[in-house]
Amino acid sequence: MEETIQAAEAVQIPQQRGTSLLETAVRYAEERHWDVFPGTWLVAADGVQRCSCGDPACAAPGAHPAREDWAAQATGSATVARRMWQKQPMASILLPTGRTFDAVDVPETAGFLALARMERMELTLGPVTLTPDRRMRFFVLPGAGVKVPDLVRRLGWAPRALDLGVRG
pTM over 0.85: no
CA distance 137 to 158: 19
Cα–Cα–Cα angle for 28, 17, 35, rounded to 5 degrees = 5
Helices (H), 32-107: 70-73, 78-87
81 class by beta-carbon count within 10 Å (0-12 exposed, 13-18 middle, 19+ buried): buried
Residue 82: CB atoms within 10 A of its CB come to: 15
- Please tell me the predicted confidence (pLDDT) of residue 39: 95
pLDDT digit string, tens, across residues 60-70: 899 899 999 99
Taking all residues of the chain, what is their mean pLDDT, rounded to a whole number? Answer: 83
The predicted pLDDT at position 17 comes to 54
How remote is the C-alpha of 161 from its chain's centroid? 24
